[in-house]
Structures are given as C-alpha cells and as structure tokens.
A and B are shown apart, each in its own frame.
Chain A
Amino acid sequence: MNPELGQLALILALILSALQCLLPIIGAWRNNKPLMETAPSLAIGQFVFIAMAYGILTWAFWTNDFSVAYVAQNSNLALPWFYKLAAVWGAHEGSLLLWMLILNLWTVALVVLGGKLPRAFFARVIGVLGFVAFGFILYMVATSNPFGRILPAPANGADLNPVLQDPGLTFHPPLLYMGYVGFSVAFAFAIAALLGGELKATWVRWSRPWTNAAWAFLTIGIVAGSAWAYYELGWGGWWFWDPVENASFMPWLIGTALIHAQAITDKRGGLRAWTLLLSIFGFAFSLLGTFLVRSGLLTSVHAFAFAPKRGVFMLVYLAVVIGGSLALYALRAPRVTGGKSFALASRETMMLIGNLMLTVACAMVLLGTLYPLVGEALNIGRISVGPPYFGPLFLLLMTPLVLALPFGPLSRWGKADLKVWRRALVRIVALAAAAGIIGFIIGVRSWYGLLGVTAATWVMTGVALFAIKRWREAPRGKRYPFEMLGMMLAHFGIGVFIAGAILTRSLSVEQDVSMRPGAGTVVGAYTFNFKGVSEVRGPNYRAQQGTMLITRHGKPVVTLYPQKRTYPGGQVQTEAAIQAGIFRDLYVSLGDPVGDNAWSLRVYDKPFVRWIWGGGALMMLGGFVVMADKRFRLKHAIEPETVPARPDPVPRAKLAEGGA
C-alpha cells in the first residue's frame, strides 16, 4: 500500500481533531445541541484515519518496504515477524503514532461507554481529548512524519535496535502508553468540569473507573519494563532510577495519589481542588514522560541541536497544555469550600498522608531526573544523581505511607474510632514483630532484610484485619463490593512488592567469576558447573552460548544457556539465562572470554525476586477490579448538573488555544 496514503490519513485526522476540539466545546458553550452531537462521529472518524495510518505503517514493515525511511532504519529482512510488528513503535515517529492510536482507542471507548453522561459535559470531554489529539498529530505531521521516503530505497534495512528485540519490550510500550494516555481521560474530565463550571463533584465519580483503568495499565507497563531490564540488561537489577524509568514512575506516583483523592472527593465531597490539580498533573507527567524520553532531552540537550523544531514544539505544547490548564484552574477552581469535616484519626487523614508522601516523592523524582538540566541551567555542569540520591530519599518518604497504609481502610470516614485503632495497632505490631523474629531465626540477618519482613507483614496484616472486620460487620453479599476488593488486592500487592524488593536485595547471593569448562562454583545452596561455550545462530544474530549445569546437594536442578549475541550491525547484547521460581531465581549471564579458555560469568541466586512483579500484578488487578463496582455504573441518563447559559463565559484563551 502506498505510504503517502498514510500521510494523507494523518492530515485528515489532524483536520478532524481540530473540529473535534472546536465544535463540541462551542456547542456546549452555546448550548447548541447539534454542535454537541458532532462529538461522537468526529472522534470515531479521527480513530478511523489514525488506525488507517497505523495499518499502513505496519504493512510497510510487514512487506519490508525499505523505501520508507522509518522502516529502513528500524527493520531488516531477517527480523522475525513478531519483531517486525513491534518495530512499528521501536523509535520516535512510530511510537508517537502508537500513542495517537491509543488515545483514539480511549476516546472511542468513552464514546461507547459514556453515552449516559450529561450531553454538554460529554461534549466538553471529547473536545478536550480532541485538543490533546490535535497537538500530537500536528507534532507528527510537522516534525516527525513516519512515512518519509528515501530514494533510492536500500536493499535491506538497518535492523531494529537489538536492545528492543525482547518479548518484554514488545509489550512494554503499548501497556505503558495505555497508562500514560489513559490519564488523558481523567484530565479531560477535570478540564471539562472546569470549563463547564460544574457545581457538584459528581464528575469525579464518572472519572474514577477511567483513572483506575489507566493506573492499572501504567502499573503493569512499569512491571513489564522492570522485568525487561532484569532479563535484558544482564546485571540482575530490576530498577535503576534511570530517567526513562523515572519518566514512567512519576505519573504512577501522581496517579496513585489521584485515585485516592478521587475516592475522597467522590464519597465525602472534600479535596475537590486537589483532585483537579492531580488530574492535571497526572496527565502533565504523562506528556513529560512521552516527550522527554523520546526526545533524548534528559540524556543530552544536544537532541535540540539535531532537531530544534521537535524540541521547541514539544516544550511549547507542554507549556500550552499545562499552563493553559493551570490558568483555567486559577480562573475556575471551586470557590466554595466543600466536603465534610473530619477528625484526626479518620480515614481521610490516613489518605492525606499517603497523598502528601506520593506527591512529595514525585517532586523528589522530578528534581533528581531533571538535575542534569537544572545543573545546565545554573551553569554548574550536567551531572546525574543516581540511586544514591533516589534510594534513601524514596525509602524515607515511603515509610510514613507504609505505616499509615493499614489504618486507612480500618479507620472510619470522618470520625476517629480510637478503640478500633488500638486493637488493630496491637495486632499489627505484634504480628509484624513476630514476622521479624521468625525472619531472624530462619536466617535473615541484615537490618534491611528484617525491615522488609516487618514492613511487608505490617501491610498484609492490615489488609487481613480489614477483611475480617468486613466479614464480621457487613451483611452477607455486601461484605466485599468490587471497589473494596480492588483496594484490598492492591494493598496486599504493595505488601508482596515490599517483601520482594527488600528480600531480594538482602538475600541475593551474587558472584562474578571467571570459569574454565569443567569448573564449578558454589552460590548459596547451589553449585554452578560450567560446561563451556559453543557458537549458535539465531534468525538475525550469532551468539556464543554458555552451558551451565546447576545442582543442589549433587542432584541436577536445571541447565541454563546464557547467550552473548552479536547482531549484523556489530551490536552486542547479553541474554541472561534464568530459572524462574516463586521463591528464587537462578540467574546466569555470560561475560567475555578472559583468556586461557576461561570466561567471565555472573551467577546469581535471587530469592523472592518474582514477588516484585507479582506485587505489581496484584496492584494492576486491584485497579481493574475497582472498575467493576456498581457505584460506577451509569444506569440512567444523568441530568445536567450545570445551569445552562451561565453568565460567566468560557475563557476565550482556551478556545483560541484549541484552534491555534
């Protein structure tokens, strides 16, 4: 198929997105029903054209059309077919197209599921999403066209970056983008509420399932990224606090704060302004993540020198979206003080502690991530602060959150119930201390490891006590509504995650060894016997493959085959071989020959490392389960909450931005 058609589809989608932004919002402002009713068809039309562009690019990869520059740079005749499909989002231009496609999927989902929302509100939400889409498509058309040609076409492509040739990374970007882009829905709800001057906070309830879905996708996207780093980077680490990871972690922190703030606003009416701000910032960090990672700005401002148009465009776009939203917030944020008052030892207080710690942690990560830029702006040189900065500070900030976590669900809304608190506190402390002692007896000796056991038990006991409390107090059939069940799953997931993260660090046995064939080394309870290295061929690489027989008490456990792959471009990629288990991973990574037939190898015994991702998966599941709650089902068409034709018009600035 002709790639120019793809470009044409992009331009048509651009025009539709401009209309999708303008018509419904003007319709809602003028109370003009026909204009408002254009929203669904414009959104679907835009989806059709973006999907078409995406399909055409995929087709170009599938048929090895190397006359398309992007395909020539990121694919190769020998690339396996599944990586050809994934290569579509392997670099800047294609990943923007994927971002757009996902934005359209969310918008279409909203069109299908949001039919019962008040029409004016719905029109504004779709309009705001149209504005977001407009900026993105314009960016693509103006600076990052994926359909550019090179003539004459090369006979073969340069190949997909070998780092990206891994199943984990195939799923990582789409999931991550589902999360990033999903926050645009919460953002659109917030902006629509500000534009329409919503008097009540009911919009927050409508927004909650969408926020939870986005958060769940982002959670699993981060988990996939972390698992990928563990497999592919060949060092057995699972989190490096590098800028790319931080870029996905910041929206997660804000998103976590947001789903809790939304719960307070929904149920108690309080924190309305805060919920608005978090909705704006959640999406702002998603944009920052998308842009900064792809622009390379964080690793090098030289990215600007290579493509000044891209850099300037994205900064202006960020400034317009965030600055415009904050200006709208300043103009329109609720003037009335809202919400019911609450006591110190109430659920609200616990959730506020969590919110505060999460937002401060996000600010801390932002500062650390932008530190090279700050350094450059202050002219003191670009330097990175790494784990020595993030690790201890994050631990410090999360301590109050973890301490408060069990007491959030156990406390009541509004009122302090000190009797419940005292009883819960005694049990949680007793169990956590017992777990610490048991941990010490069975061999956890470092204070860090003991801290992990105690903290994980602290959190999990809290969830268990809450489950028991509901079982006793609530009538049958109403004990665990989905909203509550999701919360319990996610909180339990945090306990599992803490156990995994901390125990892995304190119990892992890691060895860097140089071994000759026939040699053995003892790691924990296991003996690793090195059998040698042979040459193997993959579809598009050659590899040196080591053979490592692992035994325990003389009995063979598993044979692992770590690889060191060389791709035609000369890039070398290590493929660690891992025996995965619920309680431990055995990990072998092949290094370099060190002469005399010996090889350097890294062999690890990593207990509980799966719990890190298991905890993340539970959190994701919790997010999805919450969505199923009856509370969020829109049964009847909802009466408009706003007074039509308000004297206070929609700020012109906002409309002008949309049309700009």
Chain B
Amino acid sequence: MNESAGKPVARLVPLIAFAALVAFFVVGLVWNQTHDARFVPSPLINKPAPAFNLPRLENPTQLVSKANLLGQPYLLNVFASWCFACAEEHPTLMAYRDRFGIPLIGYDYKDAPADARGWLQKHGDPYHEVITDQSGETALDFGIYGAPETYLIDAQGIIRYKHIGPLTPAVIAKDIEPRIRELKQAGA
C-alpha cells in the first residue's frame, strides 16, 4: 500500500487544513465582534408567511392554522428542548413576554412533545401558545434551518422581520420593539 503521506505535499495537508480552520474562526469572530453588519437573512421578509396547520403542544388534537392567528401581529419563536442556545435565550423571553405587547407564539421544532413539555415545565413557559412541528415539514416552508429563530409576523400574516440566533435585550430594543410599534401604529 502506498501511503499518501509519502508525498511531501500530502504531508502538509493536515497543517494547512488546520491553519485554514483557525484563520476562519479568528477572522470571522474578530470581524463580527467589531462590525455589526447583519444582512437580511431571509428572502421571505415582506412576503406572506407560509400557510400552516400545526397541532398545539398542550393538546395535539387541536390544530392551529395561519388563519387562526391573523388579525394582530405576533412573534413566532422557534425553539426545541434539545437546543442549548434556546436555553440561553429563554430567560430573555421570560422577561419580555409581557413587554412585547403582542402574543409570543412558540414553534417547537423537530422535538418530541413530551421533551418539549418537560423543558417548559423545567425552565418556565414564556409562550402564549405553543405549536409543534415534529417532522419539520412546515419549517422548510418557513426557511427555518435551526433553533432558535424568531419571526415577526403582522396582522395580515406577512413576515416583517426575522432574527436568527438567540434574542437578546439589545436585539429586542434595536430591531424588534421599534417594528412592533410601527405595526401597532399602522393597525390603529
């Protein structure tokens, strides 16, 4: 058998790959700590949210559809019991649930309902309503690719804003609360 390590270039491959990985993280993390230039991450912004019909976590025989939620703006927060970043986000949601002034809907993503219920029982339940998407099919329509993500959807069912990653008080103050005020003024 010929060992690829016999060739001088091949023996450099692990080192080069490692250096590239280090460079990627150093540049990426340093750049992002100093530049806050979040691009709009979703093509669905200002488009209607996809139609959905998903079971409630508390009572899976009852379904909640997009139409049920029309009429007032709401926040849709994607979470899962397996998601550690959601546990990090969770205290923020608990603190802000009543300060948003609009419903906070939990979207339990690819999760066993029993696990999700246990998780909410353990940490506390910040949601006014929780819908479950065990298969993740509806999530595909939403363009969800992980948890946590948060959508701001207006009274007409149009996605106004999407945040990827945990919500923080800073994000809420800068990106979410002003938009909620706008939507409320437009609705009033």
Footprint of B on A, CB under 8 Å? 234-235, 237, 240-243, 270-274, 277, 298-301, 319, 322-323, 326-327, 329-330, 333-342, 371-373, 375-388, 510, 512, 574, 591-592, 600, 602
Contacts and interface: CB of A to CB of B under 8 A. Distances in A.
A372 B122 contact: no
29 contacts: A234-B118, A240-B82, A243-B84, A270-B1, A274-B3, A322-B18, A323-B22, A329-B15, A333-B5, A336-B6, A337-B6, A339-B1, A339-B3, A373-B25, A377-B24, A379-B31, A379-B37, A379-B38, A380-B41, A381-B41, A381-B149, A381-B165, A382-B164, A383-B145, A383-B147, A383-B164, A384-B147, A388-B82, A592-B121
B93 to A, nearest CB: 16
A277 B4 CA distance: 12
Interface residues of B, number: 49
B83 interface: yes
A326 B84 contact: no
B160 interface: no
Given A381-B164, A385-B146, A386-B83, 13 more contacts: A240-B82, A274-B5, A298-B84, A323-B19, A333-B5, A377-B27, A381-B149, A383-B146, A383-B148, A383-B149, A384-B82, A384-B85, A388-B110
Given A337-B6, A342-B1, A379-B32, A600 B121 contact: yes
B43 interface: no
A591 B114 CA distance: 12
Nearest to A371: B146
B126 interface: no
A388 B133 CA distance: 12
Contact of B122 (A241, A323, A333, A574): A574
Contacts of B148: 383-384
Given A242-B84, A384-B83, A512 B114 contact: yes
Nearest to A332: B11
A273 B80 CA distance: 42
Contacts of B163: 381
Contacts of B140: none
Nearest to B135: A388
Nearest to A335: B6
Contact of A372 (B24, B85, B145): B85
B84 A384 contact: yes
Interface in B97-128: 110, 114-115, 117-118, 121-122
Contacts of B118: 234-235, 512, 591, 602
B25 A377 contact: yes
Nearest to B119: A235
Interface string B1-25: 1111110000110110011001011
Give the interface centre of B32, B84, B110 by most chain A CB atoms within 10 Å. Answer: B84
A603 to B, nearest CB: 11
Interface string B66-96: 0000000000000011111110100000000
Given A337-B1, A381-B163, A384-B147, A602 B18 contact: no
Contact of A333 (B11, B29, B82, B146): B11
Nearest to A385: B146
A384 B113 CA distance: 19
Given A383-B146, A512-B117, A242 B1 contact: no
Given A277-B14, A379-B39, A512-B114, A241 B29 contact: no
Nearest to A383: B146
A377 B32 contact: yes
A388 B29 contact: no
Contacts of A334: 3, 5-6
B85 A299 contact: yes
Find the residue from B18, B22, B25 having the highest chain A CB count within 10 A: B18
A141 B77 CA distance: 43
A342 B1 CA distance: 7
Nearest to A298: B84
B43 to A, nearest CB: 14
A323 B18 contact: yes
Contacts of A337: 1-3, 6
Contacts of B3: 270-274, 334, 337-339
Contacts of B24: 377
A587 B22 CA distance: 45
B136 interface: yes
B1 A386 contact: no
B41 A386 contact: no
A243 B12 CA distance: 30
